[in-house]
């Protein structure tokens, strides 16, 4: 068995840390798992959108792990909704895992309960991709 390999693609803008990191770790049923870390807001939206599209191009099933998000706003929600629409248009699937409690509440308030496939159980598989967005600096 080969040891996991890692590849890091750096962002052109100096935001620190890897933007899109790949490690050859297995995920269930050939799915790709992308972990978003930090704050998914207006500042990080484009960065997250690019990372999600790259990951979507690799597999018919993408699991977006939001367990390490410290914040998500409506712009971040829009990124996820656009990714879900892209998945549907292209015959793919987007699953949101480990979502913060605010995400289902936001979807409910907007009448979009069925717009995202939100996993009910926590994801326990290690991600093979990670997108570090940004952390709030006081």
Distance CA(89)–CA(20), nearest Å, equals 24
Q: Which domains does the chain have, with CATH numbers?
A: 30-132 (3.30.750.24)
For the segment 10-49, what is each residue's pLDDT rounded down to a tens digit? Answer: 333 433 333 333 333 344 567 888 989 999 999 999 999 9
For the segment 52-92, what is each residue's pLDDT rounded down to a tens digit? Answer: 999 999 999 999 999 889 999 999 999 999 999 999 999 99
Pairing of strands 20-23, 32-40: unpaired
């Amino acid at each position: 068995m080969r040891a996991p390999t890692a590849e890091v693609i750096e962002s052109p803008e100096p935001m620190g840390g890897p933007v899109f990191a790949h490690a050859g770790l297995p995920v269930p049923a050939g799915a790709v798992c992308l972990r978003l870390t930090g704050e998914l807001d207006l500042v990080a939206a484009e960065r997250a959108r690019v990372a999600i599209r790259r990951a979507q191009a690799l597999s018919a099933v993408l699991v977006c792990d939001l367990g390490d998000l410290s914040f998500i706003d409506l712009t971040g929600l829009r990124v996820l909704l656009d990714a879900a629409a892209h998945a549907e248009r292209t015959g793919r699937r987007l699953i949101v895992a480990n979502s913060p409690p605010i995400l289902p509440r936001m979807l409910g308030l907007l009448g979009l309960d069925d717009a995202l496939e939100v996993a009910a159980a926590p994801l326990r598989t290690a991600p093979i991709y990670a997108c570090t967005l940004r952390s709030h600096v006081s």
